[in-house]
Amino acid sequence: MKYLRFVYEFLKYPKQVGTFTQSSKALAKKMAEQINGSPYIVEFGAGTGSVTKEILKRLPENGRLTCFEINPEFCRCLEKIRDSRLKVINDDARNCEHYVNNLDCIVSGLPLALFNKSKKQSILSITSKSKRYIQLQYTPFLGKKMKRYFSDVKLKFVSRNLPPAFIYVCSASP
Ligand SMILES: C[S@@+](CC[C@H](N)C(=O)[O-])C[C@H]1O[C@@H](n2cnc3c(N)ncnc32)[C@H](O)[C@@H]1O
């Protein structure tokens, strides 16, 4: 059902959703593994929650995961995840600072490569305030841009996803 919801929303808003299917388990796990024990996580573009669920598995009991998702149908899926550490916010990730103070660790599924220059810039200037920023993408060509904001940028490749994907793991210092 969630699969069909994803395809349907992609057909309606291709540039906003960015891909026709939610992240595979392998990709979601690899994304979540990068959080490195951070207790406060902010997720941008959580979709139907495949990465969200993997983050929750690794979050300490007193941790907090705040998800920003612009699509109300996807928010409905996220709200079905019963976990008191999770907060779902149906708003643009660019407004996150109205809701959260702690941006130490940001996990993002936003389709950055499809955003126009100013939208991309706004997201990157927010994420550059974090100590750790984990970004899912389907292109390996964003490294140069990321390096303008982060001193350390590592690229990981996950083949077990449709389409195969890249994860940028960015830190303020090595
Ligand atoms: C490529 S999908 C990733 C979904 C999910 N994280 C996954 O890995 O399966 C991108 C998601 O970003 C959301 N999105 C796009 N622009 C957004 C924005 N400005 N603020 C919040 N969410 C946004 C879309 O609705 C979509 O759910």
Tens digit of pLDDT for each residue in 38-94?
A: 899 999 999 999 999 999 999 999 999 999 999 999 999 999 999 999 999 999 999
Specify the residue with its C-alpha closest to ligand 1, atom 23.
45
Query: What's the confidence (pLDDT) of residue 173?
Result: 63
Instruction: Supply the pTM of this predicted model.
Output: 0.97
Domain 23-132, architecture per CATH = 3-Layer(aba) Sandwich (3.40)
Q: Is 137 helix (H, G, I), strand (E, B) or coil?
A: strand
* Atom number of ligand 1 nearest to Cα 46: 6
Q: Which residues line ligand 1 (CB under 6 A)?
A: 16-19, 22-23, 44-47, 50-51, 68-71, 74, 92-94, 109-111, 136
Note the pLDDT tens digit of each residue in 96-131. 999 999 999 999 999 999 999 999 999 999 999 999
Kindly state the DSSP code that residue 141 receives in the 8-state scheme.
T
